[in-house]
Structure 1
Amino acid sequence: MTTNVTVEALEIIQKRQRLHCQKIGRRNLNLRLDALKQFKRLLIENEERWLFALNEDLGKPALEAYATEVAFLLNELDHTMKHLAKWVKPTVKRRLLLSGLEKTSVMAEPFGSILILSPWNYPLQLALGPALGAIAAGNSVVLKPSEYAPAVSQLLAELIPQYFAPDLFFVVEGDGEVAQMLTNMRWDFVFFTGSPQTGTKVYQAAAKHLTPVALELGGKNPCIVDDTKLNPDTVKQIVWSKFLNAGQTCIAPDTVFVPRAYFTQFLEQAKQQIIEFYGERPIESKDYGRLISLKHLAHVEDFLKDGEIFYGGEVDQATCFMAPTLMTHVVAGSALAKDEIFGPILPIIPYDSIEEIVSQYQQLPVPLVVYLFTKDKQHIQYIQEELESGALSVNQLMVHVTSPNAPFGGKGQSGLGNYHGEASIKTFTYQRTLYQKKTPLLLPQQFPPYSEGALAALKRFRRIIF
C-alpha cells in the first residue's frame, strides 16, 4: 500500500476540516465563492498540463479533453457561482394558529468532511466536479483520485495544495488498499463514482458508521431509433457518442436498436461514419483515444466472442488500442447482451416492435439513461412511462449531462443520489429546521387532565390548532 498520508494524519485533517466547516464554511458565503474562484484558477492556469496528463492517461485528443473535462468544469463553476446565494438561502414559512404565530426556517447545512472517490475514465471532471459542489455547499473534501489515471492523479496531488489549504481540500493518492483504508474511516459523507461492484463495497463500509453516501455507477444504456428518425445525422451522433473516450463513458449508448427493415442500411452508414471520423486505420488517428489499461482491454476484448464482428475488432496490446467495433448477432443471455461494455464495442440489434425492447430492458437493472430517436410523441410517452432510468434523452446523445439544470444520477445498480448544479447543493447538505413560535397564551385543553370536550374541539379545530 503506497500513499502520501497515514490514518493518524488523516484523522487530524478530518478534525481540522470539520472545525473549518463548523466555524467558517457553514455561513460564510463569500469564502465559498472565493474557493470556487480558486477552482477556476486551478483549471485555467494549468490548462496545458491538464490536457497533457489526460492524453498521457487515456490518449485523449486536446479538443475532446478540453470539451469533456476542462470546459465542463468551467461551465459548472460559472453556473454555481451565479446561483449559489439563491440556492443556499433559507426557506421561511409562517402560519397563524389559535395558539400563536409560527415561523419555520429550513437551512441547507453542510455535512462536514467529505470523502470523494473518483474514477479513471474522466479523471479530472469526475474528481473536481463533485468536489466543487461539496465545497460550494460549505463542506471540506478529501479526494482519492484513481490510480489507473496516474498522470492526472499526480497532477491533482501536486496542484491542489497550491490553491487550497488542507482544512478545505486535501488529496490522497494510492491504490485499492488505500481506498479501503479510507472507506473504513468515519466520514460525514462519502461520494463514489465507479462500478456497481465497488460501489456496493463502499456502501457497506459507510453503513457501519451510518454515513450517508452518493453512488454514481454504471448502466447498460439502450439507444432506440425508430423509422421516423433514421437519418445520417442520427447515425453521426450515435457513432460520435459511442466512441468518444474509446467508449469509456458511463452514459455512452451501450446497444443500438434499429427497425429490422433498416438494419443493413444502418450498419453500412455506421461503418462509413467511423471511417469519416477516424480513417481506415483508427490506430493512426490523433482523434481516437486508448483504453486505460491492458487489464481493461482484455475485459472488453472478451465481449467479442459474444456475437459477430461486422466492422473493426482490431486490438493492439502495446498501445491499449481497440478499434471502433460494430457487432451483430449478439448471443442471447451473453455478457455482451447483459453487462455494461464500457469500451469501443457497439452492438446493433434489429427489432420488430418497441414493445419487445421495453420488455427486455424491464428485466435488466435500471440504466443511467435511455436514448430515443423519434418524431413520434406517443413513442416518447410510452418509453417515459414504461422504462425507468436516470434520464430519458430524446434525439440527443450524452449532452443532457452538460445541462446545469439536469440532475445527474441513476437508480439501483446505476446509482444512488445525484449532483450537478443545484442538485449538488442538495446532495451535499442536510435540511436543518429552526422552529420559532410566539405563543400569547397556552390552550388549557392541551394539558392533562383532559376535559370531556377536548377531543371534540380538537377534531373540529385541528387545522388551526397545530
Structure 2
Amino acid sequence: MNRYASILNCQKEFFLSDATKSLAWRLDQLDRMERMLRENQQAFCSALYEDFHKPPFEQLFEITVPLGVIDYYRKNLVELMKPQHVAIPKGLEASGNAGVIYKEPYGVTLVIGPFNAPILLLLDPAIAALAAGNTVILKPANTTPKVASLFQALIPKYFSPEAVNVVTGGREEISALLELAFDFIFFTGSSTVAKVVMRAAAERLTPMVLELGGQNPTVVDQTANLDVAADRIAWGHNAISGQWCVAPGYVYVHRSIADEFIGRLKRSLVTMYGEKPQQSPDFARMITERDTQRVSSYILPDKVVHGGNFDIDGRFIEPTILYPSTWDDPAMQQEIFGPVLPVLPYDDLAEVVHIIKRKPKSLAAYIFSKDQAAIDLFLSGVSFGGGCVNQTNLHCWIDSLPFGGVGYSGIGKYYGKAGFDALSNTKALLIGNPDLVLDVFPPYAGKDIAASLSLFA
C-alpha cells in the first residue's frame, strides 16, 4: 500500500463530512496560517538564508505576501462564497426560472512548491485552497532542506492533520504522492517536472493548475526612460540570483540606444550589488552546484560586457550581461534561471514581435516605452501569462491581477478572486419554476414547439 494513502484517506473522510465548507472552518485555517507565519517569522527567514543566502528583503517578501493573501480572503470570503445569480434568457426569467452559480471545493489538494520562493509559492496556493474549502497536503521543495524541515516541524503544531499535512523529500516522494487520487493538484516548478505531474493527473483526470516559467521577453525601445528601465531590469533579473520565474529572460534594446542602455544597466548592477557582488548581503546564491555549473556554461567570454565570474563550489555567479546576443547563443535556448542576461539589439519592433510570437509562450513579458503605438503592437502581438509596461515582476503579487502562464508556461491562473475560483468547482444551476408547464416532449404533433422554445431566446 502507498505509504501516503493514510494521509490522503484521513483528509478525504474529513472533507466528505462537509466540515470544510463552512465559513468558520475556512477563517480558522486562515487564522492558523497567519499565526504560523507571524510567530515563526525569524525562523523562516533564517531557514531561507541557510538554504541559499536569500537576502533580508527577499526573506520578508516571502512572509508579507502570504499575509496579504490571507488578509484578502479574510475580508472577501463572505462575498466569494455567496451563490452568484446570473442572467438567463428573458423568457425563462420572466416565467420564474433563475440561473445561479455555486462555488464548491474540490476536496483534497496536493500543493507542490518550488525552491526559489519556498515559503511564498507553497503557501499562496495553499491559502487559496483553504479559503475555497479544500484540505491540503503540502510538498515543499527538497532543495531547500531547512525550509522544508521547518514546515515539517510547524505544520502539525498549527493544523489538524485532516486539514493540512506536509510530506518532505524528493523525486521518490513526489512519485509516491502522484500515485494517489487527489481531487486537485497545484504544481509550481519547471516544465520538465510539470509533464510528469500532468501525466499522473491524466490517469485520473485530476483537475490542476500548473505555474511554470519560460524565457520572458523584455523590450526597451528608443523612447524609454533608460534609468527606470535599467534599474527595474537589473533588479527584476537578478533578484533571487535570477532564479525567479517572472524574471526578464532576455532584453531586446533598440540599436540606437543600446550602448547607452548597457552603460546604465552596468551602473545599476554596481549600485545594487557593489563591485564585489559575492560579498553583497543582498545577492542570493544559486540553489545547487549543478545549477551553478549549468548557468555558468551560458557565459560566452567574448560577449561578456559586465560580470562573467563564477564560483561553482560557492554556488555563486556574478550578475552578467552578454552583448550582442543572438538566438544561436546557449543562453537563448532555454529559461536561464540565473543571473546571466542576454541583450539583443533590434531595429524594427514589428520584426521583434514576429520572432517572439513564434517562440514558446512565456509566463511574463515586459516593455519599456513611452510610445503607445509600440506598446500596443507588443501587447497585441505577443501572447504571455502576464507582465508589465515600464515595470518588471511586481504584477505577480497584486491580488486583483490573475497570475499564471499560458501553454508551455502554465495552465490556469490564481491570486485573489482568481485563486478562489481556480480552487473551486463552478457548479452552474438552472433553478426551475416548479409550477411552469413547459411541454416540449414527444409526441410533437399538434404542439406549438416554437412558442415553447421562445422561452430560451
Read off the aligned partner of 1:121 and give its amino acid letter.
Answer: N
Matches within 5 A, 1:210-249: 210-249=205-244
Q: Is the aligned partner of 1:446 residue 2:440?
A: yes
Q: 1-side partners of 2:456 and 2:142: how far apart? A: 60
Q: Is the aligned partner of 1:38 residue 2:27?
A: no
Read off the aligned partner of 2:65 and give its amino acid letter.
Answer: F
Which of 57, 82, 86 is the equivalent residue of 1:89? Answer: 82
CA contact 1:109–1:430 (8 Å) conserved in 2: yes
Which of 71, 74, 79 is the equivalent residue of 1:78? Answer: 71
Q: Could you tell me how far 1:98 is from its partner in structure 2? A: 9.8
> Is the deviation greater in 132-141 or in 428-437?
428-437
Q: 1-side partners of 2:93 and 2:49: how far apart? A: 68
- Compared with structure 1, are the counterparts of its residues 98 and 205 closer, same or farther at alpha carbon in structure 2 (3 Å cutoff)? closer
Instruction: Give the % identical residues.
Output: 34
SS at match of 2:269: helix
Q: Is the aligned partner of 1:458 residue 2:453?
A: no
Aligned to 2:361: 366
1:313-347 C-alpha deviation (Å, 9 max, x unpaired): 11112320111101113243333123111000011
- Compared with structure 1, are the counterparts of its residues 123 and 97 closer, same or farther at alpha carbon in structure 2 (3 Å cutoff)? closer
Q: 1-side partners of 2:262 and 2:198: how far apart? A: 41
Aligned to 2:166: 171
SS at match of 1:43: helix
Q: Runs of 5+ in structure 2 lacking a partner? A: none
Q: 2-side partners of 1:157 and 1:287: how far apart? A: 28
Read off the aligned partner of 2:443 and give its amino acid letter.
Answer: P
SS at match of 2:204: coil
Q: Could you tell me how far 1:233 is from its partner in structure 2? A: 2.2
CA contact 1:191–1:213 (8 Å) conserved in 2: yes
Q: Could you tell me how far 1:355 is from its partner in structure 2? A: 1.2
Q: Could you tell me how far 1:296 is from its partner in structure 2? A: 0.7
Aligned to 1:185: 180
CA contact 1:57–1:151 (8 Å) conserved in 2: yes
Q: 1-side partners of 2:277 and 2:441: how far apart? A: 81
Q: 2-side partners of 1:394 and 1:50: how far apart? A: 33
Give the CA RMSD over aligned residues: 1.9
Q: Is the aligned partner of 1:309 residue 2:300?
A: no
Aligned to 2:42: 48
- Compared with structure 1, are the counterparts of its residues 268 and 166 closer, same or farther at alpha carbon in structure 2 (3 Å cutoff)? same
CA contact 1:312–1:324 (8 Å) conserved in 2: yes
Read off the aligned partner of 2:44 and give its amino acid letter.
Answer: W
Q: Could you tell me how far 1:140 is from its partner in structure 2? A: 0.4
SS at match of 2:116: coil
> Is the deviation greater in 19-28 or in 169-178?
19-28
SS at match of 1:119: coil
CA contact 2:20–2:26 (8 Å) conserved in 1: no
Q: 2-side partners of 1:392 and 1:159: how far apart? A: 35
Q: Could you tell me how far 1:384 is from its partner in structure 2? A: 1.7
1:77-125 C-alpha deviation (Å, 9 max, x unpaired): 1112111111121113576649952233321111110111111011000
SS at match of 1:80: helix
1:172-216 C-alpha deviation (Å, 9 max, x unpaired): 011111111111211111111111111011101110011111100
Aligned to 1:66: 60
Q: Could you tell me how far 1:307 is from its partner in structure 2? A: 6.3
Q: Could you tell me how far 1:38 is from its partner in structure 2? A: 1.0
Q: 2-side partners of 1:317 and 1:299: how far apart? A: 10
CA contact 1:99–1:442 (8 Å) conserved in 2: no
- Compared with structure 1, are the counterparts of its residues 296 and 408 closer, same or farther at alpha carbon in structure 2 (3 Å cutoff)? same
Which of 379, 395, 403 is the equivalent residue of 2:398? Answer: 403
1:214-248 C-alpha deviation (Å, 9 max, x unpaired): 10011111111111113212211111111111000
Q: 1-side partners of 2:365 and 2:311: how far apart? A: 32
Q: 2-side partners of 1:164 and 1:426: how far apart? A: 24
Aligned to 1:356: 351
SS at match of 2:10: helix
Read off the aligned partner of 1:214 and give its amino acid letter.
Answer: V
Read off the aligned partner of 2:270 and give its amino acid letter.
Answer: I
Q: Could you tell me how far 1:56 is from its partner in structure 2? A: 0.8
CA contact 1:404–1:421 (8 Å) conserved in 2: yes
Q: 2-side partners of 1:441 and 1:344: how far apart? A: 67
Aligned to 1:124: 119
SS at match of 1:346: strand
Q: Runs of 5+ in structure 1 lacking a partner? A: 1-5
Q: Could you tell me how far 1:298 is from its partner in structure 2? A: 0.9
Q: 2-side partners of 1:316 and 1:266: how far apart? A: 28
SS at match of 1:319: coil
Q: Is the aligned partner of 1:377 residue 2:377?
A: no
What stretches of structure 1 move > 3 A for 4+ residues in a row?
93-100, 433-436
CA contact 1:100–1:439 (8 Å) conserved in 2: no
Q: 2-side partners of 1:377 and 1:42: how far apart? A: 46
- Compared with structure 1, are the counterparts of its residues 434 and 19 closer, same or farther at alpha carbon in structure 2 (3 Å cutoff)? farther
Q: Could you tell me how far 1:434 is from its partner in structure 2? A: 4.4
Q: 2-side partners of 1:52 and 1:19: how far apart? A: 37
Q: 2-side partners of 1:97 and 1:151: how far apart? A: 59
CA contact 1:100–1:440 (8 Å) conserved in 2: no
Read off the aligned partner of 1:41 and give its amino acid letter.
Answer: R
Aligned to 1:250: 245
Q: 2-side partners of 1:441 and 1:223: how far apart? A: 59
SS at match of 2:377: helix
Read off the aligned partner of 1:416 and give its amino acid letter.
Answer: I
SS at match of 1:271: helix
Q: Is the aligned partner of 1:413 residue 2:408?
A: yes
Q: Could you tell me how far 1:411 is from its partner in structure 2? A: 0.6
Q: Is the aligned partner of 1:333 residue 2:328?
A: yes
Aligned to 1:289: 284
SS at match of 2:351: helix
1:411-437 C-alpha deviation (Å, 9 max, x unpaired): 111000011111111111111244432
- Compared with structure 1, are the counterparts of its residues 29 and 392 closer, same or farther at alpha carbon in structure 2 (3 Å cutoff)? same
Q: Could you tell me how far 1:21 is from its partner in structure 2? A: 2.3
Aligned residues: 455
SS at match of 1:318: coil
